[in-house]
Structure 1
Amino acid sequence: MADFYDGLHPEDRDRTSEAFAAAADPRRRAIYDVEYRTIGKEDGVVRWVAAKGRGVFDDTKNDVRCIRVAGTAVDISARKRAEEELRALNTLLEQRVAERTFELRRFRDIVDATRSPICAFDPEYRLIAFNKAHNDEFRRVNGFDTKLGDVFPDLFIPEQRQVMRALMARALSGESFTVVEEFGRPEFGQPFWEITYTPLLDEEGRIIGAFHLALDISDRLRAEVELETAQDALRQSQKMEAMGQLTGGVAHDFNNLLTPIVGSLDLLQRRGVGGEREQRLIGGAIQSAERAKTLVQRLLAFARRQPLQPIPVDVGGLVGGMAELLSSTTGPQVRVVVEVADDLPPAKADPNQLEMALLNLGVNARDAMPDGGTLRITATGESVRTPRGDLRRGHYVRLSVADTGVGMDEATLSRAVEPFFSTKGIGKGTGLGLSMAHGLVAQLGGALTIQSQPGVGTNVELWLPISSATASAAEIAPAQVGPVGSRGLALLVDDEEIVRASTADMLEEIGYRVQEASSAEAALSIVAEGARPDLLVTDHLMPGMSGVELARVLREQMPSLPVLIVSGYAEVEGIALDLPRLTKPFRSAELASSVASLTIGPDSA
């Protein structure tokens, strides 16, 4: 027995010994049934043995004892190896099933937690799976839930069913694609969806269905439209700014050209040069020059570079005073209606430019009503709390000029304020009326808005900032031309020789000796050499130092020196309000009036 037990596997000795002892115990007489491993003494090979047997007892004596344990011992090593392999395989399968179950649960959790609607469908268009977001979004835009087994296209309104079925059919044919479509019921909203379709394949590559992932892109599309609108507005603004810069520069040059023309013609007319025919020709030339001057003023107004004289203006009084002129201008077929609100506050404006703008708008309205109609001019006080377009937050006087004419379509309306754009035909307008009004109110800090509809009419609104001061007749009344306040030396500064020569003639005619300078620096040299001018007449924009800067330097040396700034338009930084100015082109009477209005100090004589 010692050899037997020594050959057992250490882990099986106790169990085998206990089984043998139980079988050999006369009181227990258990069946010997045990499986154990043996270790070969020669080869060290481990073998499994299944042993079964019973104890054989000698019952003839009082002292019963086990004679032997008889039974069988079978080598079951092969079976044990098979069982071990099967057990290992089962363990592996269980592990793999657990892992796959975890992966599927995780995938399901991810899909269900995804905010984008996802659903799968079979070749009969029936829903076979969907996540929570899909049902939530479907309920949001259709008003009811989906369920597994629903034929998905049939859940949509009639006009959307065929579209959905066609998209699903493409996916079921094996195509992967993305589309943007509008789905939903009108009463719940019809968002735009970006939908990606993908076929479902089995292990052999056969199509067994398809699935789609949807995304509501309505907000994104609205943002894209708003961005495109903003970009269009920016491009239009840049275009208008470029045109304004070009127009302002050309108009300034025209003013320099017109100044000697107007001045010379005026001088010839006042001196009565030539006979009646020559005077008639000179008069016609002056009329043309004045029309050119008006055209240039409109160009400068569009470019926002006209030298404005903004003062508090009684818009109601101005409109009322122009009613008769507008009626005669528009003709008997057009009924002019003027409505002015009570207690209308004064507006900050240049009355002369505002009158011109109102007259231009009246003419435009007349031309838009060839068969007659109504021109309604309304002035009211308004407050803007939410900025819109060029109209900023603030308090305004809104001057509305509305007609019942042919109106404008969107394309025409988008170009209405462009300079020289006109629908009146060749020779029937300059195309500067609206652009001048637009530039005028923009330069004053207001805005111009237009509402128009073909066949209904057009309403142009001028939004003028309210003035904190009070309008009075004295402020609005034009200055009267009086006698020249003093005589003496006039220092004339202009970089354009032909303008300088014409202006010098006018100054000499009203009693001044003139010393000319082609630049501010040259003028300072003249003063440094001992000249003491009684009047400074200087152009504003010149190479190097500007006329305003020159005036400030000379005023430091001669505080009471009268100064007149001559300018074709105001620069961005503007001309100082305390410096009187004269707009090019001008006639001798206008120059004399401006000089006469200057305050002449005792040190200037």
Structure 2
Amino acid sequence: ARAVALRDESGEIVRWVGTNTDVEERRVAAMALAELNQTLEERVDRATRERDRAWKNSRDLQAVLDTAGVFQAVNDAWHTILGYRATEVVGRSHRDFIHPDDQPSSEQALAIATADELEPHENRYRHADGGYRWISWVAAPESGLVYASGRHITADKEAAVALEAAQEQLRQAQKMEAVGQLTGGVAHDFNNLLTVIRGSVELLARDDLTPERRQRYVSAIGETAERASRLTGQLLAFARRQSLTPEIFDVGESLNRLAEMVQTLAGSRLELVVELPREACTILADRSQFDTSIVNMAINARDAMAGEGKLTIGVGLVSGIPAIRGHAPVVGDFVAVTVTDTGAGIAPEDLYRIFEPFYTTKGVGAGTGLGLSQVIGFAKQSGGDIRVDSQLGAGATFTLYLPRASELAAETGPDRLPRGSTQGDGLCVLVVEDNEQVGQFATDALQQLGYQSVLASDGNAALDELETDSARFDVVFSDVVMPGMSGMDLAARIRERHPGLPVVLTSGYSHVLAQNGTHGFELLHKPYSIEQLSRI
């Protein structure tokens, strides 16, 4: 309240004139403000105590660093996890504690954390006992400092290593199981073949054989050797060590040609449907191995349907291979061949084993277990893959992916020798073979066929023969795998020194041929027949 006195002439106060102001609202507001300030102070104090408590009690490493990486503050977890008290850390650089191998990445992480939030970063910090502990860090900048939090993950790392070791042991055990199955299957099949050959040879030694029986035993040896050759070919295909002869061809045309054979193999109770696209689906692959793969998948489907059902073979262009058996997807142009049956389907536990050699779910004598292993080996070696989708009772679909090839991608194939009479007509062949028995057989057989032949035991001996008189030789027939100079190296030197002299290579197996091809030289696979040898 405020008032002013009014006085008369003598100075006496006559009356007071004043005003009254109601300040209740102001008083209430002032009290509320005071109460709010006190509440805010209490809240800030409580938040600070909670932060300090979280900092102190955290089981993770907490740290404040400057932009140079010098610690400004750390919590008690440093003593629990790394054995250091705060006084032993504050003022020191983070580099003093980090494993030398992790220094570069940690410097990059600090540079990121000074400007932005750091995604989890793992490194090793030295413990007070001299060992190292794995720490996973996150961090963020504020007011020119870096606030970091690190979680101790050494146990997780050790568990991951132990898991990987256990998985590797499992893989080794599975590999040994597969090897045991493979060797057992090979031994079984080859022992059967050897029984036929050995028995036929012993019977041929008898003097009382009729011509008919003698011819029967000779034929049995030849047929058994052919079956052995197919068996080794399937094994090499599975191991991706088959010597392929790639050529560009249209898959649709090849399937059209195979359709009649597949129908014959499938039987009259099985409906065959071949769905071909209008556009050409060309691939660069070994045509013979492709045909064998289709036949193997068709036979597998036929057996799954017990000879009765519907078999559908389709072809299409795709832009990649999806993730298969844990492998990442592959982007590119591929031709996809699908073989779908309406059979019983494949059990989930068998899906990952059906491509193993000699693994079969069929009854005894109903399958060799090599058909699908040949398919996956051919696909992988050709730059593709194979996928299987199946459910019990709902059939199965096998999808064979092979890299697409355009006509422009055609490579120059091996120069083919003219095919004519199987008689040598006096042509001279330089035979290069390190195996004495095989070399003697080849030269004797060539001479029986009317060729002249000269045997060289290795590449250097062959070059010496050519240096002496290369004009007398019409063709060089060389093994690929030989000690010292390989057949591939010899062929390359002959091409360089004697460009007009044809070279034919022969091999039962060569990782060089399997990986790199024949480099334009014609290849005759071992074991070869007399008829095949006559056409070199």
TM-score band, normalised by shorter chain:
0.5 to 0.7
What does 1:511-526 align with in structure 2 at a 5 Å threshold?
Answer: 511-526=450-465
Q: Please give the per-residue CA displacement for 1:151-188, whole angstroms capped at 9, x wherever unaligned.
A: xxxxxxxxxxxxxxxxxxxxxxxxxxxxxxxxxxxxxx
How many angstroms does 1:526 deviate by?
A: 3.7
Q: Please give the per-residue CA displacement for 1:391-417, whole angstroms capped at 9, x wherever unaligned.
A: 522111100111111222222111111
Matched residue type, 1:353: Q
- Paired residue for 2:444, among 505, 514, 530? 505
- Paired residue for 1:468, among 406, 415, 422? 406
Q: Measured at CA, do residues 390 and 276 of structure 1 come closer, stay the same or move farther in structure 2, by a change above 3 Å?
A: farther
Structure 2 partner of 1:402: 340
Structure with the greater alpha carbon radius of gyration: 1
Matched residue type, 1:432: L
Q: Is the 8 A contact 1:313 1:471 kept in 2?
A: no
1:491 aligned counterpart, secondary structure: strand
What does 1:154-173 align with in structure 2 at a 5 Å threshold?
Answer: none
What does 1:433-448 align with in structure 2 at a 5 Å threshold?
Answer: 433-448=371-386
Q: Is the 8 A contact 2:282 2:405 kept in 1?
A: yes
What does 1:167-206 align with in structure 2 at a 5 Å threshold?
Answer: none
Q: Is the 8 A contact 2:477 2:505 kept in 1?
A: yes
2:284 aligned counterpart, secondary structure: strand
| TM-score of the pair, normalised by structure 1 | 0.53
Q: Whole-Å Cα distance in 2 between the matches of residues 288 and 281 of structure 1?
A: 10
Matched residue type, 1:568: G
- Paired residue for 2:486, among 531, 543, 546? 546
Q: Please give the per-residue CA displacement for 1:61-84, whole angstroms capped at 9, x wherever unaligned.
A: xxxxxxxxxxxxxxxxxxxxxxxx
1:552 aligned counterpart, secondary structure: helix
How many angstroms does 1:103 deviate by?
A: 7.9
| TM-score of the pair, normalised by structure 2 | 0.60
- Paired residue for 1:563, among 475, 479, 503? 503
Matched residue type, 2:339: V
1:313 aligned counterpart, secondary structure: strand
Structure 1 partner of 2:526: 584
- Paired residue for 2:476, among 536, 541, 545? 536
What does 1:457-496 align with in structure 2 at a 5 Å threshold?
Answer: 457-469=395-407, 481-483=419-421, 487-496=426-435
How many angstroms does 1:432 deviate by?
A: 0.7
- Paired residue for 1:419, among 357, 367, 371? 357
Q: Please give the per-residue CA displacement for 1:412-436, whole angstroms capped at 9, x wherever unaligned.
A: 1111111111111222211111110
1:281 aligns with 2:221: no
How many angstroms does 1:490 deviate by?
A: 1.6
Q: Measured at CA, do residues 233 and 362 of structure 1 come closer, stay the same or move farther in structure 2, by a change above 3 Å?
A: farther
Q: Please give the per-residue CA displacement for 1:88-130, whole angstroms capped at 9, x wherever unaligned.
A: xxxxxxxxxxxx9798444456599999xxxxxxxxxxxxxxx
For structure 1, the 5+ residue unaligned runs are 1-99, 116-214, 596-605
Q: Is the 8 A contact 2:322 2:328 kept in 1?
A: no
Q: Is the 8 A contact 2:424 2:534 kept in 1?
A: no
- Paired residue for 2:311, among 367, 372, 375? 375
Q: Whole-Å Cα distance in 2 between the matches of residues 230 and 450 of structure 1?
A: 28
2:376 aligned counterpart, secondary structure: helix
Matched residue type, 2:273: V
Q: Measured at CA, do residues 349 and 554 of structure 1 come closer, stay the same or move farther in structure 2, by a change above 3 Å?
A: closer
Matched residue type, 1:505: D
Q: Is the 8 A contact 2:506 2:525 kept in 1?
A: yes
Structure 1 partner of 2:251: 315
Matched residue type, 1:317: E
Q: Measured at CA, do residues 577 and 113 of structure 1 come closer, stay the same or move farther in structure 2, by a change above 3 Å?
A: same
Q: Please give the per-residue CA displacement for 1:38-71, whole angstroms capped at 9, x wherever unaligned.
A: xxxxxxxxxxxxxxxxxxxxxxxxxxxxxxxxxx
Matched residue type, 1:320: N
How many angstroms does 1:324 deviate by?
A: 1.8
- Paired residue for 1:360, among 296, 299, 302? 296
For structure 2, the 5+ residue unaligned runs are 1-44, 61-150
Q: Is the 8 A contact 1:380 1:399 kept in 2?
A: yes
Q: Whole-Å Cα distance in 2 between the matches of residues 522 and 514 of structure 1?
A: 14
1:432 aligns with 2:370: yes
Q: Is the 8 A contact 1:548 1:575 kept in 2?
A: no
Q: Please give the per-residue CA displacement for 1:302-350, whole angstroms capped at 9, x wherever unaligned.
A: 1111111111121111112212211121112221111112203211221
**Segment drifting more, 530-539 vs 495-504:** 530-539
Structure 1 partner of 2:238: 302
Structure 2 partner of 1:183: none
Structure 1 partner of 2:135: none
Q: Is the 8 A contact 1:391 1:447 kept in 2?
A: no
Q: Measured at CA, do residues 471 and 522 of structure 1 come closer, stay the same or move farther in structure 2, by a change above 3 Å?
A: closer
Q: Is the 8 A contact 1:481 1:589 kept in 2?
A: no
Q: Is the 8 A contact 1:330 1:363 kept in 2?
A: yes
Q: Measured at CA, do residues 479 and 396 of structure 1 come closer, stay the same or move farther in structure 2, by a change above 3 Å?
A: farther
Q: Whole-Å Cα distance in 2 between the matches of residues 530 and 371 of structure 1?
A: 62
Q: Is the 8 A contact 2:424 2:446 kept in 1?
A: no
How many angstroms does 1:547 deviate by?
A: 0.5
What does 1:85-234 align with in structure 2 at a 5 Å threshold?
Answer: 104-107=49-52, 110=55
Q: Whole-Å Cα distance in 1 between the matches of residues 166 and 355 of structure 2?
A: 18
How many angstroms does 1:502 deviate by?
A: 2.0
Q: Please give the per-residue CA displacement for 1:223-257, whole angstroms capped at 9, x wherever unaligned.
A: 98xx97996899489949x969x98xx99xx9xx9
2:511 aligned counterpart, secondary structure: coil
Q: Whole-Å Cα distance in 2 between the matches of residues 588 and 391 of structure 1?
A: 46
